[in-house]
Structure 1
Amino acid sequence: MKTITLNLRKIAFATMAMTFIVPSNTFAKGPDEGKKLEGTINITGTRFLFPLIEKWGAEFSKVHPGLKFVVKQGVANPDINASAAPLKEKDPAKGNYTIVSRFAIVPIVNVKNPGLDKLQKSGFKAKDFESVYFSNNTSKDKFAAFGDQLVSFKVYSRSACTSATFSSVLGEELKDLTNASGKKIADDHILLQTVVDDPLGVAYNDLGIVYDLKTRKPKPGIAVVPTDLDGDGVINKEENFYADLDQLIHSLESISTNLPPKGDFTLIYKDTRPEVTAFVNWILTDGQQYVHEYGFLNKK
């Protein structure tokens, strides 16, 4: 008879290993995985935020094809309100306030401004932002001194979220912004075009409007005035990063100064619909890869 020797230690180990073998589908899935999200998500708010929101909606719909997004101003009963305004107080009745990105606002002038060369070399100091953009003089050209040269401006502005953030960062009031047009400027694209059409025109605008998102260069007819970060009256190599949008975004994310002005891109929504909450959570994770493409900065 053949003798069989049993290794009790090996048998015990094998038994324990079998105890812990479980089907892979018993583990918990991610918050959206396996869930069927359907319906329409209505979004309204600040218009210059819409292109990035539409991109987010298109990409999220690839994962959840049953979802439809409506992104426009004046939409009835919005699920999400996208805001670029400086939010000093939060209204709990409106729901959650979630910062999903940041944006930057840069000073712009017409490329034909006779003082452009001087501006590119000296840039705007903090006091120049105040003296150029905030004044009661709205009827004629403004002049600001840069070294031994006076530079002439005709300043244009508008009353909107970007302007509110621009004013707030500079410690000024929105109502004190100069507007040489003497009439309301409808949106940020018209504000940009107004500067393009006036050789003495100067304004400010968001990166996604100032820069061509394909070439990553400033749009034709527009020059960006650099910010003199150390206040020495000279734009040095470390301060000269405005020729390319990607270089500009990287630099603005790397410096701690609040100039040029920056603001928060905030989504305001309620947790009453799981598809809305899932969309916002996706924006905070997978959606962040599209932020730079549209001229926005990473959230802090």
Structure 2
Amino acid sequence: MKPKLIIILFCLVLMFNSCAKTGNKKKDERKNNNVQNLSILIPTYMEQPIKEWTYFLQASHPNVKFEIICMNEQYFSSDTTFRDFDLIFTPSFIRGNKYKYSIISQEAIVCVVSFKNPFLQSIINRGISPNDLKKIFSNPNSYYWKDFFKTDKKLNDKITIILPDDRYTLINQLFDWLDIDKPTSVTMKSTDSILDLLKIQNDIMTFLPSSLVYNINTQYRKDFLYVVPIDLNNDNWISDDEYLYDNIIMIKKAVLDNKIDSLLVLQYKLIYSIDNSRKNLIEDIVNNKHNLNKNIFEQYGYFVN
């Protein structure tokens, strides 16, 4: 082969290779230009289920990049957050006619004691009334178990009240339901710390989110705690239509059938501003039932219609 012909062929190969690279680069640029970033602000404790949910969403929205930002929910506020985030996942209700939302999942707020509590049999039979709870939580650590429950043993233990400091909406709704101000003297700890204490300390009374109280595998409450029934009619006896929920199936049905006071139900919502420039995309994600994978949330103990 003549040297000139070899040089010409070599130049053609280089030219075609360069064109191919340029074409691929432009294709990648077009693809990147079509990607839309959507930021989602969530409470820190919801990080894992939301990560799994956005991973599921990615299949039907390949041109959307979901950015998850975790924050303690007490710092959520409508004016600032909607300037910085496209979606907010929260049990709080953000007021204002510029915002829309869709309820994604729910859970109950339940009263919990240690399963080793020496007054447990009386607690099981009698439950506790809202009026008694109001007394106890108005003046934390001022009452004794024997003031409300009976046992054959001679015990003089005080009721130790501890509430979760990482569940801002739960605390607000609880005290709204009790119709009292939150006392400054109440002891606050993380939900994980409270669960650990319930294993070793018999005198604790608390309120916790139901997703942490039940064993998802067995469907029953965790064996070291007991969900206290609420004696709604104050007759010192628990009937079937009062808050007796020993397994997650019963409490799920009660929540979804609206059998529990709304203040004792946490409704997790995806909230967005109607002024958002990507409102159509957001509404497709929020309102399309095909985008909601029930299994993801239910495996973490949340209830989905």
TM-score, with length taken from structure 1: 0.70
- For residue 252 of structure 2, the aligned residue among 226, 249, 252 is 249
**What stretches of structure 1 of length at least 5 have no aligned partner?**
1-36
Task: Show the counterpart of 2:51.
Answer: 54
- For residue 106 of structure 1, the aligned residue among 110, 125, 148 is 110
Q: Does 1:42 align with 2:39?
A: yes
Q: Distance in 2 between matches of 1:196 and 1:146?
A: 22
Task: Show the counterpart of 1:90.
Answer: 95
Q: Distance in 1 between matches of 2:143 and 2:231?
A: 23
Q: Does 1:289 align with 2:291?
A: no
**What stretches of structure 2 of length at least 5 have no aligned partner?**
1-33, 73-80
Report the RMSD for the aligned CA atoms in angstroms: 3.3
Q: Given the superposition, is the C-alpha separation of residues 288 and 92 from structure 1 closer, same or farther in structure 2, using an over 3 Å criterion?
A: same
Q: Given the superposition, is the C-alpha separation of residues 276 and 214 from structure 1 closer, same or farther in structure 2, using an over 3 Å criterion?
A: farther
For residue 243 of structure 1, report the CA deviation from its aligned partner.
2.1
- For residue 132 of structure 1, the aligned residue among 136, 147, 152 is 136
For residues 120-146 of structure 1, give each alpha carbon's deviation from its aligned partner in whole angstroms, at most 9, with x where no partner exists.
1111211122123232x45x6644633
- For residue 173 of structure 2, the aligned residue among 129, 143, 165 is 165
Q: Would you tell me which structure has more helix in proportion to its own residues?
A: 2
Are 2:123 and 2:149, in contact at CA under 8 Å, matched by a contact in 1? Answer: no
Q: Does 1:116 align with 2:120?
A: yes
Task: Show the counterpart of 2:284.
Answer: 278
Are 2:104 and 2:270, in contact at CA under 8 Å, matched by a contact in 1? Answer: yes
Match for 1:272: what amino acid? S
Match for 1:188: what amino acid? T
Aligned positions of 1:1-300 closer than 5 A: 38-74=35-71, 77-85=84-92, 87=93, 90-92=95-97, 95-135=99-139, 137-138=140-141, 142-143=144-145, 145-146=147-148, 152-159=158-165, 160-173=168-181, 175-176=182-183, 179-180=186-187, 184-185=188-189, 187-239=190-242, 241-254=244-257, 256-258=259-261, 261-270=264-273, 271-273=276-278, 274-282=280-288, 284=289, 287=292, 289-290=294-295, 292-298=298-304
Are 1:228 and 1:235, in contact at CA under 8 Å, matched by a contact in 2? Answer: yes
Are 1:103 and 1:263, in contact at CA under 8 Å, matched by a contact in 2? Answer: yes
Q: Given the superposition, is the C-alpha separation of residues 215 and 148 from structure 1 closer, same or farther in structure 2, using an over 3 Å criterion?
A: closer
Task: Show the counterpart of 2:7.
Answer: none
For residue 163 of structure 1, report the CA deviation from its aligned partner.
0.8
Q: Distance in 2 between matches of 1:78 and 1:113?
A: 45
Q: Distance in 1 between matches of 2:277 and 2:63?
A: 18
Q: Distance in 1 between matches of 2:56 and 2:138?
A: 41
Match for 2:230: what amino acid? T
Tell me the secondary structure at the aligned position of residue 163 of structure 2. Answer: coil
Are 1:103 and 1:206, in contact at CA under 8 Å, matched by a contact in 2? Answer: yes
Q: Distance in 2 between matches of 1:123 and 1:260?
A: 19
Aligned-residue sequence identity (percent) comes to: 18
Q: Distance in 1 between matches of 2:40 and 2:118?
A: 43
Q: Distance in 1 between matches of 2:177 and 2:241?
A: 22
Q: Given the superposition, is the C-alpha separation of residues 79 and 255 from structure 1 closer, same or farther in structure 2, using an over 3 Å criterion?
A: closer
For residue 169 of structure 1, report the CA deviation from its aligned partner.
2.2
TM-score, with length taken from structure 2: 0.69
Tell me the secondary structure at the aligned position of residue 249 of structure 1. Answer: helix
